Amino acid sequence: MTFLPVVERELRVAARRRGTYWIRTAFGFGAIMVGFFIWLDDRHSPANVFGENLFGAFAGLSVFYCLTCGLRSTSDCLSEEKREGTLGLLFLTDLQAHDVILGKLAATSFAGVYAILATFPILAVPIMMGGVSAGDFWRVMLLLLNTTLLSLAAGLVVSALSRSSYKALAATLAILLMLTLGCPILSGITYLVSPTHRSALRDVLLFPCPFYTLGESHYASASRKTLHDFWWSMGVIHSLGWLFLGLACVIVPRSWQDRPAATRAQRRRKFWQALVGGLPARRQAFRSRLLDRNPVAWLGARARVKPALVWGAVGLVAAGWAWGYLRAGAEWCCEGVDLPMAILLNSILKLWVALESGRNLAEDRKSGALELVLSTTMTVKETLRGQWMALRGQFLGPVLTVIAIQLIFLVASLQRESFHDQPINPVLWVTFMVLLVADLIALGWVGLWGALTSKKPSHLAGMTIARILCAPWILFILISILANALIEDVPSDPILTWKFFIGLWFGLGLLTDLGFGLGAALHLRSSFRALALQRYAPATSPLSRWFNLRRKR
């Protein structure tokens, strides 16, 4: 009998995908580009400094990629099969839960492991330049494998619990953010509570963060204490990965079955419906009011708890700032605290809008409900207006509150004595507010456009974030490095001021929003019905798509 038959079958399927081979080429090309720009920035530095910076950049980007493997690959692998009704067919055979889980793990990890193998020779190059030891290299490679296991396992356990692709994606993202950002923040809070003595809890909270492990790996050979912390952190990450896999094996045989709800379960369901949508009388009034205005808006705004969740996230950040003010007093009111808080609030809203903007439209397209909507007398303009009404009902209040908070911080920065010495701070606040509004509008349009064009709804949020939020920062870093490299060769040796960097950041952000957001809006308004029916069109080859021709069958 074949050992782990699902693993063998999934590996054969993954080996036939073109993306499995193209990802190595993409990683190699990306590594060459990263190395080129790091060389531009450090070409006058010694070889060991250049090698150390090159190794640090490659390692950091590789760890980030490994963390995203669960979001891209496993967060919807089991929930999709549950929605389609195929997961139960697997358990009608002699297969066990670990066969299914390990099979999905093998299939989803194939591309990720190939990418890690592509980084193997790239990360080894800085060893020959100096500044990086062989021990650093092998510790980082082990960290990449552990981080990939953690991310994939987190996606599997969430996918085993959920049926909705967006809920699974959001829960996986929440787990990974908690491990990479939440645990260090909690460690910092314990330091604020007890800064005078060493706290064991403070160190333990840092262990699940892969970036902390990456920082410890480089200095592990120089300090016995650092080596001890590195291996403890590696053990925690590895144990969490196997814990998530074990939980997925326990959950998946029980989560796909439809059982009659017990009396207690029915009570819980009624309580949850009342919490999400309000009491029956309020739901009926809300339904009647929105249906008269726009039925699509009612479909997207039925869950009344969604705005409350956004308000709760904003209130939680505000409560953290208030706690720090009560503890530190007037010293807490400074740019070093206000700017990170504004960045955190803006990031929460932008990521949330990216997750929610095309969610309802993508689900309606996948279930076939969108075709029913298009068969009615509703126009494309009314359909898009309904989608935006649902988004405004969920995010408009929190966005206005965040802008009001940043206006207060702007007024406070103008009244500080350091205003004349550091005029950069008011400019930053204005830039934050303008880009917040522009990014949110662009995220909404690109999310709606991606809901009609993306093959998998689980990839929609990542595509939207990459185009609107990641692309400007990548261009900003590359142009800044090129500008610094060009200025170093000028005899007069000019210095780039903060005005150049803020102007570059602001200009790239607006250009990205206009390019992607305006293009998506125009495409939706002119070709909405064609995009909605695109999945019924015959498949085309890449060459024929390039020339806009249909492939002959």
Tokens 């206009």 belong to residue: 514
Transcribe 492-505 into DSSP letters: T-----HHHHHHHH
Query: What integer pLDDT is reported at residue 181 of this predicted model?
Result: 85
Nearest to 377 by CA among 448, 287, 294: 294
pLDDT level of residue 553 (50, 70, 90 thresholds): very low
Query: What integer pLDDT is reported at residue 199 of this predicted model?
Result: 61
- Range from 11-25, 87-101, 200-214, 447-461 carrying the lowest mean pLDDT: 11-25
Nearest to 170 by CA among 465, 430, 373: 465
Distance CA 553, CA 542 (A): 15
pLDDT level of residue 5 (50, 70, 90 thresholds): low
Distance CA 141, CA 152 (A): 17
Residues 6+ apart with CB under 8 A from 194: none
Query: Which tokens belong to 306?
Result: 């969604």
pLDDT tens-digit profile of 493-527? 556 777 888 889 999 999 999 999 999 999 888 88
Distance CA 487, CA 494 (A): 6
**DSSP character for 533?**
T
Given a cut of 80, is residue 467 above it in pLDDT?
Answer: yes
Distance CA 160, CA 105 (A): 12
Sort 526 into a burial class: Cβ within 10 Å, 0-12 / 13-18 / 19+.
exposed
Given a cut of 80, is residue 25 above it in pLDDT?
Answer: no
The percentage of residues in the chain with a pLDDT greater than 70, rounded to a whole number, is 81
Tokens 């996230």 belong to residue: 313
pLDDT level of residue 108 (50, 70, 90 thresholds): confident
Q: What is the mean pLDDT of residues 19-31?
A: 74
Residues 6+ apart with CB under 8 A from 410: 426, 429, 430, 433
Neighbouring C-beta atoms of residue 507, cutoff 10 Å = 14
pLDDT level of residue 258 (50, 70, 90 thresholds): low
Distance CA 545, CA 463 (A): 20
Residues 6+ apart with CB under 8 A from 110: 11, 14, 15, 20
Transcribe 73-122 into DSSP letters: IITTHHHHHHHHT-HHHHHTTT--HHHHHHHHHHHHHHHHHHHHHHHHHH
358 near 464, Cβ under 8 Å? yes
Q: What is the mean pLDDT of residues 198-222?
A: 74
Distance CA 395, CA 372 (A): 28
433 versus 328: the higher-pLDDT residue is: 433
Query: Which tokens belong to 31?
Result: 């590594």
Residue 363, classed as helix, strand or coil, is helix
Transcribe 433-489 into DSSP letters: HHHHHHHHHHHHHHHHHHHHH-SSGGGHHHHHHIIIIIHHHHHHHHHHHHHHHHHHT
Neighbouring C-beta atoms of residue 406, cutoff 10 Å = 22
pLDDT tens-digit profile of 361-396? 887 787 777 777 778 778 888 888 888 988 888 899
Residues 6+ apart with CB under 8 A from 349: 310, 395, 398, 399, 402, 436, 440
Given a cut of 50, is residue 4 above it in pLDDT?
Answer: yes
pLDDT tens-digit profile of 408-424? 888 888 776 555 556 67
291 versus 236: the higher-pLDDT residue is: 236
Given a cut of 70, is residue 62 above it in pLDDT?
Answer: yes
Residue 357, classed as helix, strand or coil, is coil
pLDDT level of residue 273 (50, 70, 90 thresholds): low
Nearest to 64 by CA among 470, 529, 501: 470
Output the pTM of the full model. Answer: 0.78
429 near 413, Cβ under 8 Å? yes
Nearest to 203 by CA among 221, 230, 181: 230
Query: What integer pLDDT is reported at residue 379 of this predicted model?
Result: 84
- Helix extents (H) in 221-279: 224-255, 263-277
pLDDT tens-digit profile of 289-341? 777 778 777 777 777 778 888 998 899 888 888 888 887 777 777 777 888 88
Residues 6+ apart with CB under 8 A from 64: none
**Within the chain, what is the greatest distance between any pair of CA atoms?**
82
Which secondary-structure segment (H or E) carries 159?
helix 134-161
- The pLDDT mean for the chain works out to 79
Given a cut of 70, is residue 539 above it in pLDDT?
Answer: no
pLDDT level of residue 10 (50, 70, 90 thresholds): low
Query: What integer pLDDT is reported at residue 436 of this predicted model?
Result: 93
Nearest to 143 by CA among 22, 60, 20: 60
Query: What integer pLDDT is reported at residue 28 of this predicted model?
Result: 74
